[in-house]
Amino acid sequence: MMRPSVSLTALPLLIPRVVASGLVISAVSAFSAPSPAYETIRTANSVLDPRTGQQVTRPLVGKPNKKSLVVLLPQLGEFDSSEYCEFLVAANDALDKADIDLKVIGIGDELAAAEFCSFTGLSPDVLSIDPKGELHGDLNLHVGPNFDVPDGVSDDVLTFALNQLPGGAPDDEEMLRPVARAWLNYLAMCAGIGAPGTLREILRGYFGDKKAPERFRDDDVVKAGFITIGPGVGPVKMGPIQYNQWFEDEKGYQRPVELATVRLKNMVEVLTKWGKYVSNPLAIDKRGATYLFDE
């Protein structure tokens, strides 16, 4: 698993970029006194411990003598969730030194949480789950352009369309249009509709970023289907085709296609384990947010 080197001073720069990646709209807030968001998170009763499936007993905010960094992820089976948590894992020591208590809440069930922690390296002690994304709704987090499926689109057309997507059409006919609506808004955000910065962030993954840190170590190897990249960013093998990237000896910044390769790895992980990661397709369009509470 790749671990970028992240200092705490870099975190404010990285958070909006990572969370804006592709789909997620982020709000980074700092409060010196209790706020509506603080109270909503503190009193949330829909958040579960992924190890027991029971309501969390540990405080989500308000740990004595510590600031609280609360990250609400969208679905755990979301490419951006993995990308963001890779940075959070890398920044763990810096957060500890700064007396910042990290809590991550993602949409998913116990199985999704176990897969997610195994893949990203995020500790189960840090992660909580909200299977229906109820806290996201209570905080009025973004759900895309809020499109509705036109009444003129038949159920047969929706069934056909959903069967082309991961998870397929729901067996319950009453769920067909709500699930289609969630997918409609999700895909709209993928295209940059109702998700400012999405297309720019996608391009950054391909063209590189001189202001962002490296994503690969010299010994990192990424395998995605018939594609193997590494060790490092140089060697690439696609089936029988092999070549070296022209920037293989460059260091100190995010090289071209480096971040796109990380996203490819995350995509393969999610799509090959969709049934494990996504238990509630109604929440596909729910986005995340990041809150920094100054106790």
Hey, which residues does 48 pair with through a beta bridge? 55, 129
What integer pLDDT is reported at residue 33 of this predicted model? 52
Contact predicate 9/220, CB 8 Å: no
**In a structure prediction context, what are the per-residue pLDDT tens digits for the chain, which is 295 residues long?**
344 444 444 444 444 343 333 333 333 444 455 688 889 998 999 999 999 999 988 788 878 788 889 999 999 988 889 989 988 998 889 999 999 999 999 999 999 999 999 999 999 999 999 999 999 999 999 999 999 999 999 999 999 999 999 999 999 999 999 999 999 999 999 888 988 888 888 888 888 888 888 877 778 788 877 888 888 888 889 889 999 888 888 888 888 888 888 888 888 889 999 999 999 999 999 999 999 888 6
What integer pLDDT is reported at residue 154 of this predicted model? 96
Helices and strands in the chain: count of H runs, count of E runs: 11, 9
What integer pLDDT is reported at residue 195 of this predicted model? 83
What integer pLDDT is reported at residue 211 of this predicted model? 87
What integer pLDDT is reported at residue 34 of this predicted model? 60
**The pTM is what?**
0.83
What integer pLDDT is reported at residue 205 of this predicted model? 83
Three-class secondary structure assignment of 150-212: CCCCCHHHHHHHHCCCCCCCCCCHHHHHHHHHHHHHHHHHHCCCCCCCHHHHHHHHHHCECCC
